Amino acid sequence: MDHKNRQIEGSAPSDVENATLSTPDSLPRLKDEQIKKVAGSIIWCFISKGYVSFKMGKVIVITGASRGIGAATARLAAAHGYAVCVNYLKSQKDADSIVDEIKSTGGKALAVASDISLETDVVNLFKTVDTRLGVITALVNNAGILETQMRVEEMDADRLNRIFAVNITGSFLCAKEAVRRMSRKHGGSGGAIVNVSSAASRLGSAGEYVDYAASKGAIDTLTIGLSREVAPEGIRVNAVRPAFIYTDIHANGGEPGRVDRIKAAIPMKRGGQPEEVANAIMWLLSDEASYVTGTFLDLAGGK
């Protein structure tokens, strides 16, 4: 073998499918499948030794992606070349619809059901992504809940625990799994995280859902602290703070028409669309925001 010509070039391990091996006539002929196995072993040996590198694809996990801001972000991420994990809790039909839509345009996506407030579910979510899509390069912590509008003195511990478990604990657990895969400290290649907070974190949502607002205040703190913690490891962490967006979450609070009721008090005199938030999220994930970390984009019409 000519040791000067050992370098194998390829953009990804799948190049094995197109590999050919030249052997002297004196050697037995190998079947196609045997050739692929031999070639694969050789290439993987060179990769593991650092002689060959290949560019990883872009893989994104979006929690709560079956509707609203999450669904809009999933569609836009696919359009930007990401393989998309559409996480959902109960809305399998909606999640499958998003996946089918992405695949119909040539994209790659899968839907994964998991309750992000449960650590075992989060671990399984990320393991599924590892196996089915590849190494995660972006995370959007979008999943969040609120409950019926009420004053603080009417709230009980069960309600608070439900909201904090999803909105706070869930975001921490997903961030943890993402960092373990992205961080250069752990052998990763870096990445980006966008947390979906809310303008409620600074406005307070008095008389409606102070508990939800408080949970989003925790997400703001997570964004600042984590961004400083992992910046040297190649990970950027930012947040968007939307408000008055036309999504189903207002119905969960008992007032489906909330945005229309409030919009006269918004400086821009209108509510926002999920796609407007998705655009901001994708900018924060992009190379155009390569020097941006630990910061917030408010999408509240000037409120």
Write out the catalytic residue numbers. 212
Give Cβ neighbours of residue 240 (< 8 Å, ≥ 6 apart): 194, 195, 196, 197, 277, 280, 281, 284, 296, 297, 298, 299
Q: Strand pairing partners for 111?
A: 86
Residue 256 structure tokens: 């489906």
Q: What is the crossing angle of helices 274-285 and 68-79, to 10°?
A: 50
What's the rounded Cα separation, in Å, for the pair 100 and 118?
27
φ/ψ of 192, rounded to 5, equals -145, 145
In the chain, DSSP finds a helix count (H) and a strand count (E) of: 11, 7
Beta strands in 59-127, from DSSP E residues, in sequence order: 59-62, 83-88, 109-113
Element spanning 125, H or E: helix 119-132
What one-character DSSP code corresponds to residue 272? B
Asked if 174 and 116 touch (Cβ cutoff 8 Å), the reply is yes
Asked if 202 and 151 touch (Cβ cutoff 8 Å), the reply is no
Q: What is the crossing angle of helices 119-132 and 170-182, to 10°?
A: 40
Asked if 258 and 250 touch (Cβ cutoff 8 Å), the reply is yes
Asked if 52 and 117 touch (Cβ cutoff 8 Å), the reply is no
